[in-house]
Amino acid sequence: MISRSIASFLTSLEEVNTITPRASLPTYALISVHGDPTADIGKEGAGGQNIYVRQLGLGLAQQGARVDIFTRRESPDQAEIVELAPGCRTIRLTAGPAQFIPRTELFEYLPDFVAAWLDFQQRSGRRYNLVHTNYWLSGWVGLQLKFRLGLPLVHTYHSIGAVKYQNLSDPPAIAAVRHGVEWACLEQADRIIATSPQEEADMRRLLSRHGRVQVIPCGIDTQHFSAVTRYEARQQLGLDPQRSLLLYAGRFDERKGIETLVRACAQLSDPYQLYLVGGARPGGQDNQEQERIRALVTELGLADVTTFTGRIDQAQLPPYYAAADICIVPSYYEPFGLVAIEAMAAGTPVIASAVGGLNYTVIPHKTGCLVPPRDVSALAQAITRLLQNPEHRLAYGTAAQQWVKANFSCDGVARQVLHLYQTLTLKESLKTARIGQGLSAELAAQLQALIESKGIKPTGSQALDQWLQTLGRKAPSTVVPAQRLAS
């Protein structure tokens, strides 16, 4: 139980903290080496991770933190610093040639990224309280910073190599390196954020039984995706209000299962229109996959009912989701499934592969349907059942929208992540203060209990962290007030 003197002291710290300038706010470094939060979503190398770090950074800034999102410069014309919102910036570091490089070829440039990060920190004078890395490449960077600077490290995998490559007879050479880094992240990071229970289970089964994992899902701007009705969306897009519309949204990548979807559509007897929403980089692997799918569409006689929209900006996606009768996510592997929750936020039911995080985000027979991956017949049957049952589509869509608003809002997710950050940084500050002999064992125990609780407000957490850091820097003879506070 927290003593009244501790509670009173914390209140006084909060009152002081209300006038603290922004420059002294907690500052967090999000690292996403290959996932620039300002990138055009849908092109090669830009997808759910880019959206995740952007939304998280913006959400944390709205909660009162300062956030710098570090990524790699892909063009000489890109600015080093881009302000996304007050308190949230993108920082582009030079690591290797300033051009697009597939993530499978980026590992050799990671030492340059670490050096550039350290140089930026020195030039800017910013003190970061914690590092949060995204994907295994960034995880390698985070481990170097943790051991060089002693910073708490949080890591989000976004995908796990051991799952991605488990069905390949000849995985790429980088797979072994990736597995080693992912194992080290789980073993040595201060906390792992799994975006679904399935991802946590995959980590424990394929990487390590050690390490601390916390499940916090991805978040989206639910208001953005629910802002338009089906009728309004079809008017905006010039679509027949009576025609059944099937939607795929995402990158052109073989693992996304677009071929399975197209072959399933070839088995449908009901009239429909298929929209494939996503762009491709000229000459890139996604462009090759797009052309392969185009050829398949022609071969199966579906050209008249299939529309390749090209890349659609994230801001323009809601009408596509809202206009669709069904959104289909036929991936062969999907750690979370951001497209699924975006579609459900728009009130559109989802048919998805029963893989990875989709087992968590899509609730069978409530918000949509799950089918085995790569099973063309099962997917075709699921589509047919929903197309022929408008009552189920309406019920699923309504439940889906409620499910997403209650569990996957970016504000709610940001609050969970911020509480995790504060817990880790406070623990580090408390440890430093105890080493400096500024705290009695009794007071340290009470503060530890307070940190572990969820009752501490962000302002109180920030003020307490600053106070503990001050104690850790002082000599024992100068911290008598802290000793008295424990009595």
**191 pLDDT band (50/70/90 cuts)?**
very high
Most distant CA pair in the chain, distance: 84
Output phi, psi for 321, to 5 deg. Answer: -65, -45
Q: Which residues contact 13 (CB under 8 A, 6 or more apart)?
A: 460, 463, 464, 467
- CA–CA distance, 132 with 158 (Å, rounded to integer): 13
Q: What is the pLDDT of residue 311?
A: 87
| pLDDT score of 406 more than 80 | yes
Tens digits of per-residue pLDDT, 283-293?
888 899 999 99
Q: What is the pLDDT of residue 164?
A: 84
- CA–CA distance, 465 with 381 (Å, rounded to integer): 56
The residue-averaged pLDDT of 174-199 equals 94
Q: Which residues contact 400 (CB under 8 A, 6 or more apart)?
A: 343, 344, 345, 347, 348, 349, 350, 366, 367, 368
**49 pLDDT band (50/70/90 cuts)?**
confident
Average pLDDT, the chain: 86
Residue, of 182 and 473, whose pLDDT is higher: 182
- Measured in whole angstroms, the distance separating CA 316 from the mean position of its chain's CA atoms is 20
Three-state SS at 440: coil
Tens digits of per-residue pLDDT, 310-366?
988 888 999 999 999 999 999 998 888 899 999 999 999 999 999 989 999 999 999
Domains defined along the chain, listed by start: 24-215 (3.40.50.2000), 229-407 (3.40.50.2000)
Q: What is the pLDDT of residue 484?
A: 32
Q: What is the pLDDT of residue 40?
A: 65
Whether residue 219 contacts residue 193, with contact meaning beta carbons closer than 8 Å, is answered with no
3-state secondary structure 296-338: HHHHCCCHHHEEEEECCCHHHCHHHHHHCCEEEECCCCCCCCH
Q: What are the start-end ranges of the H helices in 99-245?
A: 110-124, 135-149, 161-164, 174-188, 197-206, 222-225, 230-237
Q: pTM here?
A: 0.78
- Min mean pLDDT across 194-198, 252-256, 475-479 is at 475-479
Q: What is the DSSP letter of 409?
A: B
Q: What is the pLDDT of residue 11?
A: 54
- Tokens for 253, please give them: 């990548």
Whether residue 350 contacts residue 344, with contact meaning beta carbons closer than 8 Å, is answered with yes
Q: Kindly write down the DSSP assignment for every residue of 198-238, as one continuous string.
A: HHHHHHHHHT-S-S-EEE----B-HHHHTSS-HHHHHHHHT
| pLDDT score of 1 more than 50 | no
Tens digits of per-residue pLDDT, 99-148?
999 888 999 999 999 999 999 999 999 999 999 999 999 999 999 999 99
Please report, for residues 34, 230, 338, the alpha-carbon distance to residue 394 in angstroms, rounded to integers and kept in the order given.
Answer: 39, 11, 21
Q: What is the pLDDT of residue 416?
A: 93
E strand or H helix at 351, and its extent?
strand 350-353
Output phi, psi for 416, to 5 deg. Answer: -65, -45
- CA–CA distance, 34 with 175 (Å, rounded to integer): 17
**165 pLDDT band (50/70/90 cuts)?**
confident
Q: Which of 391, 393, 387, 389 is nearest to 270 (CA)?
A: 387
- Min mean pLDDT across 45-54, 173-182, 230-239 is at 45-54
User: Ranked by mean pLDDT, which of 19-28, 117-126, 159-168 comes out on top?
Assistant: 117-126
| pLDDT score of 8 more than 70 | no
**168 pLDDT band (50/70/90 cuts)?**
confident
- CA–CA distance, 241 with 308 (Å, rounded to integer): 20
- CA–CA distance, 333 with 355 (Å, rounded to integer): 6
- Tokens for 13, please give them: 């710290």
Q: What is the pLDDT of residue 442?
A: 61
Q: What is the pLDDT of residue 263?
A: 98
Output phi, psi for 161, to 5 deg. Answer: -60, -40
Q: What is the pLDDT of residue 169?
A: 82
Q: What is the pLDDT of residue 192?
A: 97
Q: What is the pLDDT of residue 435?
A: 52
| pLDDT score of 39 more than 80 | no
396, with CB counted inside 10 A (0-12, 13-18, 19+), is buried
- Min mean pLDDT across 210-214, 269-273, 312-316 is at 312-316
- CA–CA distance, 31 with 198 (Å, rounded to integer): 24
**430 pLDDT band (50/70/90 cuts)?**
low
The residue-averaged pLDDT of 194-202 equals 93
| pLDDT score of 451 more than 80 | no
Q: Which of 330, 335, 207, 327 is nearest to 261 (CA)?
A: 330
| pLDDT score of 389 more than 70 | yes
Residue, of 440 and 315, whose pLDDT is higher: 315
